[in-house]
């Protein structure tokens, strides 16, 4: 349960001022609002939203939360924000939880939060999909090539999409960051050791020329069927047109180490 107050500002940037105001103060809402959170699930209605936001305020204070902005990807009618939530765990140690939000005012579910619960609970939690796959959703150029190679389980093609010093960061934060051709090759070889690729079903694609952010459903990993569950990934292109960084936000438990 991680609410990022800056999401309201992101909604404002899309020109949806009434929705932004409703997220800041549900009691004065003039439009309906709904969001989906990895722990609480679907939240809608003025009373429920107000109570949940109050719990979030207390949780952030208790955990001494500090929010680090990572990036914002603005597309037509949709935006994706990324943050790292630095918080205090039960043992007093600080940890960083990557969190992303897809904001789409025209959607029946205009705010969709994505993050793993592994750093919070010590385990993955299966979550139901939030938006359906869209057969018309396609990532462009090198990100599209990366997605195709991921589907096919082709390590060489995946790594070729990255810059030589490109990075991959997993959902659990910097402890799962892999840098450079050698580390990426080892990582994707391990990913594909489960009997093949990871054929993600795209739901939305948000692009701004530098970054491609895509929501997806993962229901298969190599030869293993998985419960359908949502995720979000953001790929940033470098000056050479290759992927400089890829960041993933999901709670998928891989069938490989």
The string of pLDDT tens digits covering residues 123-153 is 999 999 999 999 999 999 999 999 999 999 9
Nearest to 179 by CA among 99, 244, 95: 244
pLDDT tens readout for residues 216-242:
999 999 999 999 999 999 999 999 999
pLDDT tens readout for residues 162-218:
999 999 999 998 889 999 999 999 999 999 999 999 999 999 999 999 999 999 999
CB 162 within 8 A of CB 182: no
**What are the contacts of 177-186 at 24+ separation with CB within 8 A?**
184/158, 184/159, 185/155, 185/159
Mean pLDDT value of segment 3-29: 94
Buried b / exposed e across 222-252, counting CB within 10 Å, b at 16+?
A: beeebeebbbbbbbbbbeeebbbbbbbbbbb
Question: Looking at residue 4, what is its pLDDT?
Answer: 94
Mean pLDDT, the chain, rounded, equals 94
What is the CA angle 64-70-76, rounded to 5? Answer: 125
92: pLDDT strictly greater than 90 = no
CB 24 within 8 A of CB 16: no
115: pLDDT strictly greater than 90 = yes
Give residue for tokens 């789409």: 104
Question: Looking at residue 71, what is its pLDDT?
Answer: 97
Please, which pLDDT band fits residue 61 given cuts at 50, 70 and 90? very high
Lowest mean pLDDT among 40-44, 117-121, 166-170, 207-211: 117-121
Other CB atoms within a 10 A radius of the CB of residue 173 amount to: 19
Question: What's the token pair of residue 207?
Answer: 């692009």
**What are the contacts of 10-18 at 24+ separation with CB within 8 A?**
10/72, 10/79, 10/81, 10/101, 10/103, 11/79, 11/103, 11/105, 11/110, 11/111, 13/72, 13/74, 13/79, 14/74, 14/77, 14/78, 14/79, 14/103, 14/105, 15/105, 16/105, 16/110
Helix (H) or strand (E) holding 11: helix 7-13
CB 20 within 8 A of CB 33: no
53: pLDDT strictly greater than 90 = yes
Question: Looking at residue 64, what is its pLDDT?
Answer: 94
CB 200 within 8 A of CB 151: yes
Buried b / exposed e across 56-67, counting CB within 10 Å, b at 16+?
A: beeebeebebee
Q: How far apart are CA 200 and CA 205, in angstroms?
A: 13
**Higher per-residue pLDDT: 28 or 166:** 166
Question: What's the token pair of residue 41?
Answer: 């699930």
1: pLDDT strictly greater than 70 = no
Question: Looking at residue 116, what is its pLDDT?
Answer: 95
Mean pLDDT value of segment 10-17: 95
Question: What's the token pair of residue 3?
Answer: 């609410």
Question: Looking at residue 93, what is its pLDDT?
Answer: 86
């Amino acid at each position: 349960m991680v609410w990022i107050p800056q999401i309201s500002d992101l909604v404002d940037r899309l020109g949806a001022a009434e929705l932004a105001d409703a997220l800041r103060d549900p009691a004065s809402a003039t439009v309906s609002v709904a969001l989906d959170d990895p722990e609480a699930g679907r939240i809608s209605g003025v009373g429920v939203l107000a109570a949940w936001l109050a719990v979030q305020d207390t949780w952030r204070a208790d955990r001494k939360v500090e929010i680090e902005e990572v990036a914002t990807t603005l597309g037509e009618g949709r935006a994706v924000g990324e943050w790292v939530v630095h918080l205090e765990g039960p043992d007093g140690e600080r940890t960083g939880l990557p969190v992303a939000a897809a904001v789409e005012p025209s959607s029946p579910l205009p705010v969709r939060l994505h993050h793993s619960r592994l750093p919070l609970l010590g385990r993955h939690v299966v979550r139901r999909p939030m938006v359906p796959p869209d057969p018309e959703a396609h990532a462009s150029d090198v990100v599209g090539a990366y997605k195709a190679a991921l589907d096919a389980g082709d390590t060489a093609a995946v790594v070729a999409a990255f810059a030589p010093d490109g990075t991959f960061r997993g959902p659990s934060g910097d402890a799962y960051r892999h840098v450079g051709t050698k580390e990426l090759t080892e990582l994707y070889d391990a990913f594909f050791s489960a009997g093949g690729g990871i054929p993600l079903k795209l739901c939305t694609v948000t692009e701004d020329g530098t970054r491609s952010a895509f929501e997806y459903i993962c229901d298969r990993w190599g030869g293993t069927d998985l419960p359908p569950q949502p995720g979000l990934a953001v790929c940033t292109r470098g000056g050479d047109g290759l992927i400089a960084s890829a960041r993933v936000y999901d709670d998928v438990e891989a069938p490989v180490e």
